């Protein structure tokens, strides 16, 4: 089965166009990062490219190189800000692969020894809680 075409009505495309708000962590000409509203752990951040890609299967490799450098930099800030023991990076492709929003994104999920992940697309977190984590992460971010 070929990868379906990019659909610009997806929720992340709307966030990128400024039509839907987000709790922004980082933005430059390549990427936007914001808090996941249904976090699998405290401090769960999503990083997406500004250019349209449905997922990793149709993404431009050069863009992926630039994007992963942002993922690494933000992951370092998340680990420091949340005093995490580790970080899990997740990236889902197509419905059978667990993808629910069809604009490429990487999940940065802080981990602590013995703490189990909450479900993918589970309960929504309160905005004030997300905002508190967002502030800490932004404060820990270093220039690329």
Q: Please say which residue, 119 or 143, places its beta carbon nearer to ligand AMP.
A: 119
Three-state secondary structure call for residue 70: helix
Binders of ligand AMP among residues 30 to 49 (CB under 6 A) are 34, 36-38, 46
Q: Which of 4, 5, 7, 121 binds ligand AMP (CB under 6 A)?
A: 121
Give the count of residues interacting with ligand AMP (CB under 6 A): 13
Residues sharing a CB contact under 8 Å with residue 90, sequence separation 6 or more, in sequence order: 106, 107, 109
> Beta partners for 110?
87
C-alpha 109/C-alpha 13 separation (Å) is 22
Least Å distance, CB 115 to ligand AMP, is: 17
Among all chains, which residue has been given the structure tokens 């630039």?
66
Least Å distance, CB 95 to ligand AMP, is: 9
Three-state secondary structure call for residue 16: helix
DSSP state at residue 44: -
105 counts as catalytic: yes
From the candidates 44, 103, 105, 107, which is the catalytic residue? 105
C-alpha 10/C-alpha 103 separation (Å) is 7
68 near ligand AMP, rule: CB under 6 A: no
For binding to ligand AMP (CB under 6 A), which residues are involved?
A: 11, 22, 34, 36-38, 46, 92, 98-101, 121
């Amino acid at each position: 089965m070929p990868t379906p075409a990019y659909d610009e009505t997806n929720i992340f495309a709307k966030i990128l166009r400024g039509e839907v708000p987000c709790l922004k962590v980082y933005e430059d000409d390549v990427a936007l990062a914001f808090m996941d509203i249904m976090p699998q752990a405290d401090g769960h951040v999503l990083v997406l490219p500004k250019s349209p890609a449905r997922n990793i299967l149709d993404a431009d490799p050069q863009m992926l190189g630039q994007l992963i450098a942002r993922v690494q930099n933000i992951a370092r800030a998340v680990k420091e800000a949340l005093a995490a023991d580790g970080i899990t990076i997740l990236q889902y492709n197509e419905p059978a692969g667990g993808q629910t929003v069809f604009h490429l994104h990487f999940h940065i999920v802080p981990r602590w020894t013995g703490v189990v992940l909450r479900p993918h697309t589970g309960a929504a977190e309160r905005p004030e809680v997300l905002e508190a984590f967002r502030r800490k992460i932004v404060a820990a971010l270093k220039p690329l």
